[in-house]
Amino acid sequence: MYDAIVVGARCAGSPTSMLLARRGYRVLLVDKATFPSDTISTHILWPHGAAVLARWGLSSALEATGVPPICRRMTFDVGPFALHGTIADANGGRGGFCPRRKVLDNVLLEAAAASGVEIRDAFTVEALLFDGDTVVGIRGRQRNGTTVEERARLVIGADGVHSFVAKHVHAPEYDRRPVAVCAYYSYFSDVPQDDVELYVREHCALGGAPTNDGLHLVMVNWPTADFPVVRADIERHVQRALALAPDFAARVNSGRREETWYGTAGVPNYLRKPYGKGWALVGDAGYCRDPITAQGMSDAFIDAEQLAQAIDAGLDGREDLEMALARMEAARNERVRPMYEFTYQLAALEPPPLPMQQLFAALPGNQEATNAFLSAITGAAPLGEFFSPENLRRVMSAAALA
């Protein structure tokens, strides 16, 4: 009998397991994938996400993979205005990273193993075990094809956007929005590029960042309705998008594409109730937003931390478990909602509304406000504070004076 079985061993599952094991709980972590392995996801880890890794003592393990830091002089370009700045409001100004998922997820899995978590990869969960209406375990197929049952006080679904656990406990879903953007991305060598660059254009958004092994991630987003057309001729559509950012295009095209184009029609946007009798959800299983603002991995880390705290409070009797988990859900929702709205607006890939255009026009030349803006839109600082009427008035009057 385990204290917790965690289904899914990537950004949400490995840290949740690690944090519980570090508190002395007996944890089984299973995943149908084998590791190290990639998954369909680009991988910009903003400074506030990197700060969570630092809190867990994992920065040096990540840095040892050779992935360079980003967000020290990043570019956010909306066409008429290109903003360059740094994000100093998180991770002590040391920036974020863009680690390949096969690298990052393996660092997280090894940290879970080092904390005493029992790990079984190539293990597919095929059923949840119930006692009445309470989840008490899992049934799964192991690497050798045999089926086993395992029991735990809690089964945690860290199993991503198509969560098996969420589906089989009928986790209530709310605030759902349809899929907004589709994406293709690949890896290039020999691209002159030191930091993350993002270009938002009408009908598409593109960008890139240096990653592991001297390679550069290059990614393009379009409205999801375009997916069949883009998929039919990826290269032509990527080149069309790149042409909207000519300097970036020239640098990408001076390099060489080293891998195939990876793509997806997109992911839905939703929040789910992340707990019930004998179960909990963490990461994308509980909350998913369009990837355009690159929040998912950082959100998964924060969620893992908050879930582990709530479970610990409940299992060791300091607080009623259900109340601790309800508090966690409320805190999650309060934290993520402004970014959820902002992300969905950006994912429409439509020209920014007039007040936003006026803001973009006011920022160049005001480095402090530009840095604050970049901190807000990446999640290092609360969006509401930057976009408060008083702050916007301050930025506008500074521009008027200049």
Ligand X SMILES: Cc1cc2nc3c(=O)[nH]c(=O)nc-3n(C[C@H](O)[C@H](O)[C@H](O)COP(=O)(O)OP(=O)(O)OC[C@H]3O[C@@H](n4cnc5c(N)ncnc54)[C@H](O)[C@@H]3O)c2cc1C
- Give one DSSP letter per residue of 267-322, joined into a string: --EEEE--EETTEEE-GGGTEE--GGG--HHHHHHHHHHHHHHHHHHHHTTSS-HH
| Rounded Cα gap, residues 105 and 102, in angstroms | 6
For residues 72 and 272, which CB has a smaller minimum distance to ligand X in the complex?
Answer: 272
C-beta closer to ligand X: residue 239 or 264: 264
Record the tokens describing residue 85, joined without a space.
């700045």
Of the candidate residues 95, 283, 314, 379, the single one contacting ligand X (CB under 6 A)? 283
260 scored as a contact of ligand X (CB under 6 A): no
For residue 383, which phi and psi values (nearest 5 degrees)?
-60, -40
In this chain, which stretch among 34-42, 53-61, 190-198, 383-391 interacts with ligand X, using CB under 6 A?
A: 34-42
Measured from the CB atom, the residue of 294 and 377 that comes closer to ligand X is 294
216 binding ligand X? (CB under 6 A): no
Q: Which is nearer to ligand X, 40 or 229 (CB)?
A: 40
Among 23, 26, 32, 102, binds ligand X (CB under 6 A): 32
Task: Count interface residues toward ligand X (CB under 6 A).
Answer: 36
Task: Report if residue 117 touches ligand X, rule: CB under 6 A.
Answer: no
Q: Does 127 bind ligand X (CB under 6 A)?
A: no
Q: Is 284 in the site for ligand X (CB under 6 A)?
A: yes
The single-letter DSSP state of residue 225 is: G
Nearer of residues 9 and 21 to ligand X, judged by Cβ? 9
Looking at 8, 95, 223, 278, which residue binds ligand X (CB under 6 A)?
8
**Least Å distance between CB 287 and ligand X?**
9
Please say which residue, 49 or 85, places its beta carbon nearer to ligand X.
49
> Of 295 and 366, which CB lies nearer to ligand X in the complex structure?
295
Q: Does 251 bind ligand X (CB under 6 A)?
A: no
Q: By CB under 6 A, tell whether 51 contacts ligand X.
A: no
174: three-class secondary structure by DSSP: strand
CA–CA separation, 317 and 327 (whole Å): 16
Q: How far is the CB of 185 from ligand X (least distance, A)?
A: 7
Q: At what angle do helices 354-362 and 389-401 cross, to 10 degrees?
A: 50
Buried b (16+ CB within 10 A) or exposed e, 352-364: beeeeeebbebbb
User: Which residues touch 197 (CB under 8 Å, ≥6 apart)?
Assistant: 74, 75, 77, 207, 208, 209, 248
Examine residue 17 and tell whether it contacts ligand X (CB under 6 A). no
For residue 113, which of 121, 124, 125, 101 has the smallest C-alpha distance? 121
Smallest distance from the beta carbon of 196 to ligand X, in angstroms? 10
27: helix, strand or coil:
strand
Tokens of 62: 């990540």
Question: Does residue 215 touch ligand X according to CB under 6 A?
Answer: no
User: Which part of the chain contacts ligand X (CB under 6 A), choosing from 38-46, 110-118, 337-345, 374-382?
Assistant: 38-46
d(CA 363, CA 261): 35
Nearer to ligand X, 40 or 348 (CB): 40
Measured from the Cβ of residue 384, the count of other Cβ atoms closer than 10 Å reads 12
Part of the chain binding ligand X (CB under 6 A), chosen from 235-243, 248-256, 282-290, 364-372: 282-290
Tokens representing 28? 């089984």
Among 183, 339, 372, 380, binds ligand X (CB under 6 A): 183
Residue 379 found at the interface with ligand X (CB under 6 A): no
Chain position carrying tokens 């859900």? 329
Continuous segment of H or E residues that includes residue 127: strand 124-131
Position 197 contacts ligand X (CB under 6 A): no
Binding residue (CB under 6 A) for ligand X from 52, 155, 271, 297: 297
Residues in CB range of 294: below 8 A, 6 or more apart: 42, 44, 46, 378
State which residue, 19 or 369, has the beta carbon closest to ligand X: 19
Phi and psi for 191 in degrees, rounded to 5?
-105, 120
Q: Which stretch binds ligand X (CB under 6 A): 37-45, 82-90, 250-258, 305-313?
A: 37-45
| Binding of ligand X by 206 (CB under 6 A) | no
* Residues at the contact surface with ligand X, assessed by CB under 6 A: 7-13, 30-33, 39-44, 124-125, 158-160, 164, 183, 264, 267, 283-285, 291, 294-298, 300
